[in-house]
Amino acid sequence: MSLLTRLALSALRIAAMGAALAAVHPLPAADGPAPRARTNFDTGWRFAFGHPSDPAQDFNHGTGYFSYLAKAGYGDGPADPKFDASAWRELDLPHDWAAEAPFDGKASHSHGYKAVGRGFPGRSVGWYRKIFAVPADDLGRRISIEFDGVHRDSQVWVNGFFLGRQPGGSTSFRYDLTDYLNYGGENVIAVRADVTLEEGWYYEGAGITRHVWLVQTAPLHVTPWGTFVSAEVHDDFTTANVTARATITNEGAMPAAFSLEHIVLRPDGVSVATFRSGPLSLAPGESQEYPATLALAQPQLWSLETPALHRLVTIVRTGDQIIDRYETPFGLRTIRFDPDHGFFLNGRHVVLKGVNIHQDHAGVGTATPDALIEHRVRRLQAMGSNAIRTSHEPPNPVLLDVCDRLGLLVIDETRLMGASPAQLDPLAALIRRDRNHPSVILWSVGNEEWRIESNILGARLTATMQAFARRLDPTRRTIVAISGGWGGSSTTTDVVGYNYISQSNPDEQHANFPQQPGVGTEETTTQGTRGIYFDDKPRAHLAPLAKGDSGGNCQMGWQYYAARPFLAGVFFWTGFDYRGESTPFGFPAVSSQYGLMDTCGFPKDSYYYLKAWWSDAPVLHLFPHWNWPDKVGQELKVSCYSNYEAVELFLNGVSLGKQAMPRNGHLEWQVVYQPGVLEARGYRGDTVVATTRIETTGAPAKLVLTPDRTELRADGADVAVFAVSTVDAQGRPVPIAANHVQFAVAGGRIIGVGNGDPSCHEPDNGSARSLFNGYAQVLVQAKRAAGPIRLTAEADGLAAAEATITAR
């Protein structure tokens, strides 16, 4: 689809949205062309591997007599607009070429042994090219390209002109294309990414792993990330003052006279406050921030239970003509960290029940579709989690949009500590981009900086970065996560982050710094492999560890923080398993096992421990499974995670005892294994109010496909997550099934498969996957056509499964 067609369709969608909104409150109409267009630029790219050091394998890039650094427009190789990339692979973004790479024992341990990086130069540089048209009548407008993130060390050219370099793989950035474009003709964007040098110590992916946007404005416009909305909600919560700061830029050749208008829209689209400025003016090349205050009556607050999102519509006018219209979603809420009583949202005490997450997911790596990001957040929310720490880099903007909409809190983390532009510029980009998100409650300016966290350098850098962040956003506090090095950053950080109680002493720190709030920024989960109850170390399969490699488990960590009201809460390491850091194993292990869920998002048992004590949902979870043909007559430990007052256990109808459930604890029985039915009964008082059963099953007989959604948008991007499992002849799920399953899809496309096995080397991007302890996962993406999407699954000796969903 051409740029012109996409822009036309985008304009139709915007017009339809505007018509719906006008039915509630008529917004000012624009005369002439749309004042601002932000078009998704993800489709129709070409991709090929280059090389970090051999020009012949890098399409002879950088070999001309004049390089692109010597003369303007001298981009060569794929950066040359005349370069023929027609034989390159065609793909849509986001894209992670590391997820497509094979595993190799010589590759990086921290990045999951994917065959990319310094030892694999043929897979360490990727080139992307896109040809697009710009209409002739766009001459006179400002046109820029925005990247949500390119991993890593990206260089960008347009029509052979070098635009710039961004070393950070998770930093969002933009380039102005205006003066380089062929109006009324074809244009070429070229991007070169190089992952030879690792940025993090965990799987990061490779390539244009996030969205790309083409933005068009008039020369007089709201600056990118140029609005900042803050609110003072009065103590009785019946009124609020919204301060809207808008930075306007004049990139025209003449002075600009204009006026500024703000409209605050309620979640239902009704206008609740307006502001109109007097006459304003900007000289050519000048930018200026203009603050305005708007009073609101009966504000709808953003909270975890009702995450109400308002919108600020900022309008720039010249005379009666609308020159720019810029929308800023925001939430009205108050946040406060108290050194003795923890965290407060809208004046109400809230315990932070958090997890750390990395970006990757089984099957797709870090090129995570929007719908999959939401799927992951909903899995966390179902566990009772109310907070996420974006470890250890600026998050995908989509994640913050989802947290705003669903009602989760976020610690937003920059990549690296420092006081030079190399560190402060990415921090500034992070804050300007994210400061209107009500979900964000803290800026994290450092994590486990072992060479400096215990000394004066750490203290200085922390103070410098905090002051820098406060100038950009005086409404939020900052935090540094410290792991064993005390006496440096811990003396100057605004809020202190404790990485593992085994490496810190929060009681002592609180006594020495009584005015400093504290948060558990990392704490050990019950480390282990989903569905494994006896170690199988050659396959890197771990039974749940009583103490993980950081010295704890879920129960120890939660009991510690729950007993200390001066701590705001805790963020467990991690919500999901992730590629890399397969400690305590090396190859063939390729994934961590710290997660409360595996890489697919299938829960481990510890998920239910936290769900029992973090959520209001009734929980009665019994484990292990009851298929142990080689352990008949042996004693096994049976455990129960529950929030009922008491639980009684039965084996084949015989009671094995009733126990009271300790607060924030769990129950155990020693049981001599016999096949049959293990049953737990949950009590409220003397009444049985819940029952759960685990049965010894037969062999797998039939496959089962279970989608997380039944309808998708027919936009070429939306995704459904299918769980794959088996049942025996009596319809009982088989917990140890390991069948190899083949998949086929009609009406959509398979973009990834996984099973959560930390040592599985089957391809992530194939059409087959083995079940691991009963489960596998298939990610199916819609096409750009409405109709049914039918997924089928087949395995030798089993009845096949079929599931149909609809794209609309």
Residue tagged active-site, from 448, 449, 581, 648: 448
pLDDT at position 546: 81
CB 777 within 8 A of CB 603: no
Say whether 503 sits in a helix, a strand or coil. Answer: helix
Cis peptide before 492 (omega within 30 of 0): no
CA dihedral 660, 662, 663, 666 (to 10 degrees): -110
755's tokens: 């099973």
Sign of the C-alpha dihedral, residues 385, 386, 388, 389?
Answer: negative
pLDDT at position 236: 86
pLDDT at position 552: 80
d(CA 42, CA 40): 6
672-701 burial, b at 16+ Cβ within 10 Å, e below that, comes to ebeeeebbbbbbeeeeeeeebebbbbeebb
Residue tagged active-site, from 374, 522, 679, 695: 522
Determine how β-strand 711-712 pairs with β-strand 740-746: unpaired
Q: Mark whether 448 is an active-site residue.
A: yes
303's tokens: 């909270």
CB 408 within 8 A of CB 377: yes
Conformational region of residue 613, where left means phi above 0, alpha means psi within -120 to 50, and beta covers everything else? alpha
Residue 366 phi, psi (nearest 5): -95, 0
d(CA 24, CA 121): 57
Could you tell me the pTM of the whole model? Answer: 0.95
Sign of the C-alpha dihedral, residues 361, 362, 363, 365?
Answer: positive
DSSP character at residue 80: S
Helices (DSSP H) in 206-357: which residue ranges? none
d(CA 502, CA 484): 9
* Lateral strand order in the sheet of 620-623: 620-623, 635-642, 667-672
92's tokens: 């849509």
Q: Mark whether 522 is an active-site residue.
A: yes
d(CA 241, CA 238): 11
pLDDT at position 545: 86
Sequence-distant (6+) residues with CB within 8 A of 779 are: 363, 364, 369, 372, 719, 720, 721, 722, 750, 751, 752, 753
pLDDT at position 21: 34
d(CA 204, CA 578): 10
Say whether 31 sits in a helix, a strand or coil. Answer: coil
d(CA 661, CA 641): 9
Q: What is the pLDDT of residues 227-258, one digit of tens each?
A: 999 999 998 889 999 999 999 999 999 999 99
Q: What is the residue whose two structure tokens read 């502001």?
A: 275
Q: Read off the amino acid at residue 617.
A: A
pLDDT at position 35: 86
595's tokens: 């997660």
793's tokens: 């699954």
pLDDT at position 16: 34
pLDDT at position 701: 98
- Segments in the chain below pLDDT 50: 1-26
